[in-house]
Every structure is written in C-alpha cells, then in structure tokens.
Amino acid sequence: MNVLIVNQQENLLSSLNIEVIKTLRGTFDPDEIISTFSNFFFARMIIDITALNNCEDVITYQKLSIGLPIDKIILLIPANSQVANNFFLSKLISMGYYNFTTNSDGIMYLLEHPNTYKEVAHLHQAGMSVGAPMAPQPSNGISPVDNNLPSVRVSVGGGVRTLGIKNVTDNAGASSLIYMMKKELEETHNLSVLAIEIDKRDFIFFREDNMVSTDKNSLANELMRSKDFDRVLVDLNEYDDTICDDVIYLLEPSVIKLNRLMLRDKNIFSKLKGRKVIINKSTLSESDVREFSMEAGINIFYVLPPLNDRERSSVVSDLLKYLNMVQ
C-alpha cells in the first residue's frame, strides 16, 4: 500500500490507479512527516514536493532522508520548479533520492521500475559543482547524513588533494581506513596515492609502498613529496588539521570509548560542531544514529559499518565519492 502527501499537484495524483493507505493534504515540515510515518509500514511514499515547506531548500530533503526509508520515496516535482534542474537534482541524488518525476506516467513507471543510481548517474554528473561533496547513497544502504557542511576546499580537476583523517575516540580506525582508501584509489581509479601518518608507526604493518610514518619535525619534507601524487591521505593523530584540504573525524560509538572521550575532554562535541564526523565500525541502527546525533548536539556526516581490510569494499568507494575524492 502507498502513502500520498499532496498539495498543489493533488489532481495529478488523484487520477492514479494505485492503492493508497493514507493521504496527507497541505504543507508540512519534514519533522511532521517523519513523526507521522517513522513507524508506519508502506510500500511507497509519493510526495508532491509543493506539500513540503521550503521545498526548494536542499535541507528539507536532507532531513527527510535521515528519518524515512529514502528508497521508498518518489518525488513529484513541478516542471517549472527550481528543483527541476540538474544542479538541484544532483544534490538529491547525492542523498540517495533516485526516484523523481514531473508527471503521472513517471509515477506509474517508478512504482513498477524503481531507479538505481545507474539510471540517474547522467544527471548526477551533469549537476556536479566544483568542491561539492556529492555522491550516491552507499550500496549497503547506510546513508550519508549531513550535506549541510563546508564543501571540500580543493577544486575538482587537476592538482593534489589532501584528506586528513583523525581519530576522535581511541583507535577509531584511521589507519585501516586510510589503507582501504589508498587501495581503492589506486586499483579502481588508477590514481597515485601517498599516505602519511604523524607520530605513529602503524603503517609499517601494512607493508605497502608510499605509506610513510613520520614525525612533526620531518612532516614538511614528506609533504614536499606530495606534489608527485594525485591524492594524499594523512593520519593526523594530534597534529594541526589545517595542513589538509579536508578532514574527517572518526568516532567509534561504544559506550566505554565515548565515556573515556568525555572524561578526557568534556567539550569535545562542541568542538566537533560543523565538522565532518563519521561514525566508524558502526552497528547502530538509523534511529540509534539519530538519537546519538541529538544527544551529542552534532551532525553526523557519514556512517561506516565494520569493514574487512583484506577485501575491497564498495562502501569505501562510496565514501570517496561522497568526499569528492573521486567522481
């Protein structure tokens, strides 16, 4: 059974020959829709976007994507709307919205043949902007959460791009994630990658070329070498993160590690506001992630499940796309 949320395009939707279990009429904030349907079973939710307050603001769709199963949503977009352009559609695709149309025939088609990223990739690429961290929803169904963060400071195109990775909780997985990112960039995208760790000696155990362990005093010399590479990945540890074009902050959300973190720095979550915080090695449900985000008072940029560093993973590839490290 399907759910309809309608406003100005109700006549178009009322003509559809589909089973409807519930209809909302009017204009609504995302929180209202989420609270109504978060525990409500439905096959598809068809949203006339004129029923959304601030329907031409990408944050509206971001909020919906956090609270609802995004793969079940079909957006009906007026053809003359600001949403109906490649740039805006690319942002929607970045959040995992693959099913959208401007007419009733499109609705009927998408009910029977829902899109995957493959069907909308041409719109995503056409709408890409310089520095915008856009990517499709990860193939394992774990959604990127926060798109309302500063864009990657490097431009799309030539030149070296430097990504810093910083453990916030102890042993949150920066070294292994860098190793998996490096392999993905090299083997899938044919890019040359330099990995650097500062004041640590974990990289030696990976036995990989161009994975360098250094200290603060020698860092400048290693960074001088970076001009010979396409991408540079830096395990920052306690080092200043301003040396990188972009930085992600890893949290492992176990109770003991979070409590230990708070004991060490009770203001840590205030410091992380506006940062790209990634929950790593996560076994949390989507509702657990939302609850943690609210309790900590921070936006979660991305969620990564436990990964096997012996195997290639599409999850790592999706993250690299979301960070705009590859296209």
The pLDDT tens digits of the residues spanning 190-243 come to: 999 999 999 889 998 998 999 999 888 777 777 777 778 889 999 998 887 777
Q: What is the pLDDT of residue 120?
A: 81
Query: pLDDT tens-digit profile of 261-309?
Result: 988 888 999 899 889 999 999 888 888 888 888 888 898 999 999 998 8
Domains and CATH numbers, the chain: 2-126 (3.40.50.2300), 161-322 (3.40.50.300)
The reported pTM is 0.54
Other residues' Cβ atoms within 10 Å of the Cβ of residue 77: 24
> What span, in angstroms and rounded, lies between the C-alpha atoms of 98 and 270?
34
The band of 139, judged by pLDDT with boundaries at 50, 70 and 90, is very low
Helix H or strand E segment including 165: strand 161-167
Tell me what the pLDDT averaged over the chain comes to: 82
CA torsion sign, 34 to 37 to 43 to 49? negative
**Using CA atoms, how far apart are residues 45 and 182, in angstroms rounded to an integer?**
39
181 vs 54: CA distance, rounded Å: 37
**Comparing C-alpha atoms, which of 11, 69, 15, 10 is closest to residue 42?**
69
Percent of the chain with pLDDT over 90: 36
- If phi > 0 it is left, if psi is from -120 to 50 it is alpha, else beta; for residue 87 that is alpha
pLDDT digits (tens, 9 = 90+) for 60-104: 898 888 788 888 999 999 988 888 887 788 888 877 888 999 888
